[in-house]
Amino acid sequence: MASLIPYLSFENTKEALTYYEDVFGATDINRVPVGREQADQFGVDPDKAEEMTMHSEFEVGGQKLYAADRFSETGDFNRSISLSLNFDQQNPDEVKRFDDIFTKIAAHPDTEVAMPLGKQFWGGMMGALTDKYGINWMFNGD
């Protein structure tokens, strides 16, 4: 079975993983640093290679994401990314879980809330915010 997993890029993925763990409650974090032997391949100083991330995995709201450092690429890639965390609004435990996640993220000083999480005119729940790294997150209760 195929799956689609978002792959994010950061200036400093190691720092971003700490942020997602603290603010988003990310779990199952696995980070693979650049080893000294791969430093040349990635165009980084061998003495700084261990601080760089060639690949990482983590989960937010039970959904898997991948991430790595940008290395020599420049630009603000994340501003064009929107991720939707969908949950069952008929399940009170799930609604509380996602409301708690949204509330915690929204309270962070580097978060921009575009729409508070709540019931919408179409009958579903919806909330939207942009995190510290410019990634747009939609919380969608069906």
Quick check: do 7-69 and 78-141 share a fold?
A: yes
Q: Domain 7-69 is of which CATH architecture?
A: Roll (3.10)
Q: What is the pLDDT of residue 49?
A: 87
Can you give the pTM of this predicted structure? 0.88
Average pLDDT over the chain reads 91
Long-range contacts of 128-134 (CB under 8 A, 24+ apart): 129/102, 129/105, 131/19, 131/23, 131/24, 131/105, 132/19, 132/23, 132/108, 133/8, 133/10, 133/16, 133/19, 133/78, 134/76, 134/78, 134/79, 134/81
Backbone dihedral angles phi then psi of residue 131, each to the nearest 5 degrees:
-85, 180
d(CA 138, CA 142): 12
Q: Where are the domains of the chain?
A: 7-69, 78-141
Per-residue pLDDT tens digits for 53-110: 999 999 999 999 999 998 876 666 666 789 999 999 999 999 999 999 999 999 999 9
Superfamily of domain 78-141: 2,3-Dihydroxybiphenyl 1,2-Dioxygenase, domain 1 (3.10.180.10)
pLDDT at position 55: 95
What count of other Cβ atoms lies within 10 Å of the Cβ of residue 59?
15
